[in-house]
Chain A
Amino acid sequence: SQQGEEDPQALSIQEGENATMNCSYKTSINNLQWYRQNSGRGLVHLILIRSNEREKHSGRLRVTLDTSKKSSSLLITASRAADTASYFCATDNSDYKLSFGAGTTVTVRA
């Protein structure tokens, strides 16, 4: 079973717009991570946010974490065609595994 649920399942935006996706999880976590996957290939690590952090930035990415609501959001600003991919949140409970959400498929239109 998956720990995280992501919303929306799919997102289509124009190049230059922002994309926001949300992730909710069920149990307490050590940290939450976001990954990107291009067309059935391997996963690329984007950002990690610890349970005691509320917000983190990396380039055009902004991640928030609300442990009281057990939710996180990923914002991609000024999207580009190359951002077209599936995005997954994954929770780490310090048990040597990641529990992934179902993912959000983002399509950036030129």
Chain B
Amino acid sequence: KAGVTQTPRYLIKTRGQQVTLSCSPISGHRSVSWYQQTPGQGLQFLFEYFSETQRNKGNFPGRFSGRQFSNSRSEMNVSTLELGDSALYLCASSKGLTEDTQYFGPGTRLTVL
């Protein structure tokens, strides 16, 4: 079956703009998680959604938000972009049960100029 897909794969924005990233999970998966990866901070958890409900949120400012739709697809939004938001944003999906394997997408590379 198809893996996790993320769109777009690459994005260039300027400071102050906003951006929306999309993630389509594996069919049948109801949980979607988002992570930010930077050389300095490594992999940081952003948030996790299960059946349209946010179950956990990482330590990121309110400029970072997300949502999940009834078909389990998820979007994350970053408003008022800063240079430090440049990162690889990874989405992962799972069935949402305890100890489920998380399957990661290829990521969206965001560059903020």
A50 at the interface (CB under 8 A from B): yes
Are A42 and B101 in contact (CB-based, < 8 A)?
A: no
Are A45 and B101 in contact (CB-based, < 8 A)?
A: yes
**Partner among A30, A42, A94 whose Cβ is within 8 Å of the Cβ of B90:** A42
Instruction: Please report the total number of A residues contacting B with Cβ < 8 Å.
Output: 26
B42 at the interface (CB under 8 A from A): yes
Are A98 and B102 in contact (CB-based, < 8 A)?
A: yes
Complex interface residues of chain A between 80 and 110 (CB less than 8 A to chain B): 88, 90, 92, 94-103
A31 nearest CB neighbor, chain B only: B99
Which label, helix, strand, loop or mixed, suits the secondary structure of the B interface?
Answer: strand
B55 at the interface (CB under 8 A from A): yes
**Partner among A30, A45, A90, A96 whose Cβ is within 8 Å of the Cβ of B50:** A96
B residues less than 8 Å from A18 (CB atoms): none
A residues less than 8 Å from B44 (CB atoms): 2, 100
**Partner among B48, B88, B101, B106 whose Cβ is within 8 Å of the Cβ of A96:** B48
Bound state CA distance, A101 and B35, in angstroms? 13
| Chain B residues engaging chain A, CB cutoff 8 angstroms | 4, 31, 33, 35, 42-45, 48, 50, 55-56, 58, 88, 90, 92, 98-99, 101-107, 109
